[in-house]
Amino acid sequence: QKEVEQNSGPLSVPEGAIASLNCTYSDRGSQSFFWYRQYSGKSPELIMFIYSNGDKEDGRFTAQLNKASQYVSLLIRDSQPSDSATYLCAVGVAGNQFYFGTGTSLTVIP
Amino acid sequence: IAGITQAPTSQILAAGRRMTLRCTQDMRHNAMYWYRQDLGLGLRLIHYSNTAGTTGKGEVPDGYSVSRANTDDFPLTLASAVPSQTSVYFCASSDSPGVAEQFFGPGTRLTVL
């Protein structure tokens, strides 16, 4: 079983809709959770991070963490064509490295 | 501009040749990482260093070596390149391993023929 699992997609949503991206992880000792966005041919860039259970909002992005269910999600409201990218979930344990999911490809249709 | 630089941007290499990918960060981060990214397989950790002078093996270390002589530099060496090492290589750094975000360099696209 992989440390971090994501639905590879592709996920397609119409412009203006909410895109929901999901991630599960296996290590209950995981302490930090990150969402990266990666455009084709580019390097990953951080969108959101969350450490505590619940929701964290930043503009159009909301990260949700449920440690009991070992589940973290990213919601993108009012999706724009510029949001079309691959989204990587990363999970970290203090003093250790990150574990990355394989990514979910999102396409926002104008 | 603070960040991570990688060199070269891309390289075509004959099998059996030795190659060193360079990575330099100016953020004074403690931890540095090398990943390879292949279609459908995501980012896979090759080697890491939690602090200058120490290194560790990641998920796919075979055929690669690293050194961390100082805080800023973390070169990745392929001693004898093979076609299966064709990939995009990303270097990353973090202030606190496993806790703080990792910043990524622009990547090196390597083709081994």
Looking up tokens 């995981």 gives: A30
Q: What pLDDT shows up at residue A98?
A: 84
**Residues of A whose CB is below 8 A from B45:** 97-98
Q: What pLDDT shows up at residue B42?
A: 86
Q: Tell me the Ramachandran region of residue B88: left when phi exceeds 0, alpha when psi lies from -120 to 50, beta otherwise.
A: beta
Q: What pLDDT shows up at residue A3?
A: 87
What average pLDDT does the segment B63-77 reach? Answer: 97
CA–CA dist A45, B73 (Å, integer): 21
Q: Is the pLDDT of residue A2 over 70?
A: no
**Residues of A whose CB is below 8 A from B107:** 42-43
| A23-44 pLDDT tens trace | 999 988 899 999 999 999 999 9
Note whether B101 contacts A95, CB cutoff 8 Å. Answer: no
- The residue in chain B having the minimum alpha-carbon distance to the alpha carbon of residue A31 is B99
Q: Are B23 and B76 in contact (CB under 8 A)?
A: yes
Note whether A98 contacts B104, CB cutoff 8 Å. Answer: no
Q: Are B4 and B94 in contact (CB under 8 A)?
A: no
Mean predicted lDDT score pLDDT of chain A: 93
Q: What pLDDT shows up at residue B100?
A: 85
| A52-75 pLDDT tens trace | 999 999 999 999 999 999 999 999
Q: Which of A32, A42, A45 has the CB atom closest to B99's CB atom?
A: A32
What average pLDDT does the segment A92-105 reach? Answer: 86
What average pLDDT does the segment B73-77 reach? Answer: 98
CA–CA dist A43, A91 (Å, integer): 18
| B11-69 pLDDT tens trace | 999 999 999 999 999 999 999 999 999 988 889 999 999 999 999 999 999 999 999 99
**Residues of B whose CB is below 8 A from A7:** none
Note whether A97 contacts B58, CB cutoff 8 Å. Answer: yes
DSSP A39-55: -TTS--EEEEEE-SSEE
Q: What pLDDT shows up at residue B1?
A: 58
Q: Which residue of B27, B101, B108 is the best one to mutate when testing the A interface, meaning the one whose CB has the most A CBs within 10 A?
A: B101
Q: What pLDDT shows up at residue A33?
A: 95
Q: Is the pLDDT of residue A90 over 70?
A: yes
Q: What pLDDT shows up at residue A97?
A: 78
Q: Is the pLDDT of residue A95 over 90?
A: no
Q: What pLDDT shows up at residue B40?
A: 80
Residue B96 sits at the chain A interface (C-beta within 8 Å): yes
Note whether B40 contacts A102, CB cutoff 8 Å. Answer: yes
Q: Which residue of A5, A7, A43 is the best one to mutate when testing the B interface, meaning the one whose CB has the most B CBs within 10 A?
A: A43
Tokens of A78: 């009012």
